[in-house]
Amino acid sequence: MQSSTPSAAGRPRSDLHATAFAATLRSVSELGYAGATMDRIAVAAGVAKTTLYRRWPSKGALIVDCLLDAFGPVRLQGTDRGEIMASAIHWVAAKIGEPGVGAAFAGVFSDAINDPALRTILSERLQEPYRLTLQEALGEPDDRILLLIDIVTGTLLHRMGMTGEPMVDADVAVLVEMVLRTFG
């Protein structure tokens, strides 16, 4: 957490962020993505709805920033491409399994299918930094990295939707093996 100066509303900016993100994940985890409205998130955060809207123009924008915060920088470990890729897949699988994260992620994707503005936020703010990092680490062209991201996160989210549970380690291992054979 970086240090912060009080905002116009008297609440330090990073404090508002931390409070809003925690309230968002808690609300999504308890009420589902659709049920976690800006109203309910504001109540859970103990702030006025206008305070949320001053910082995030839409629920989609709040969810994307919340996911960026929850994921943090991609964890790339290891000395060769295979190890690096495997560490990234295990990292995202663990993150998607955290309470509220998988549902928030899947929900914002679904909304984005019919919402071009949200798609732009999603691809530029959320996906782009990871794409760049992975591209630098793996030296693959754009379209291969984007397909890699689709395959890994899409598979993990589909499993969450079908079972309500994160993917078990044995299945993550098959996913890693399959991805390494194609991209490794």
Binding site for its own copies (CB under 8 A): 28-35, 102-103, 106-116, 119, 122-123, 127, 143-144, 146-147, 149-151, 153-164, 167, 170-171, 174-175, 177-179, 181-182
CA–CA gap between residue 131 and residue 149 (Å, rounded): 8
**Contact between 77 and 87 (Cβ < 8 Å):** yes
Cβ at position 51, least distance to its own copies in Å: 23
Q: Whose Cβ is closer to its own copies: residue 8's or residue 113's?
A: 113
HSE toward the beta carbon, residue 87, CA cutoff 13 A: 15
**Contact between 62 and 126 (Cβ < 8 Å):** no
Cβ at position 126, least distance to its own copies in Å: 9
Q: Whose Cβ is closer to its own copies: residue 84's or residue 103's?
A: 103
Question: How distant, in Å, are the alpha carbons of 89, 91, 107 from that of 169?
Answer: 11, 12, 24
Cβ at position 170, least distance to its own copies in Å: 8
Measured in degrees and rounded to the nearest 5, phi and psi for residue 58 equal -150, 165
Give me 14's structure tokens.
């990073």
Q: Whose Cβ is closer to its own copies: residue 28's or residue 47's?
A: 28
Cβ at position 18, least distance to its own copies in Å: 23
Cβ at position 2, least distance to its own copies in Å: 29
**Contact between 7 and 81 (Cβ < 8 Å):** no
Give me 171's structure tokens.
């299945």
Q: Whose Cβ is closer to its own copies: residue 18's or residue 140's?
A: 140
Q: Whose Cβ is closer to its own copies: residue 27's or residue 51's?
A: 27
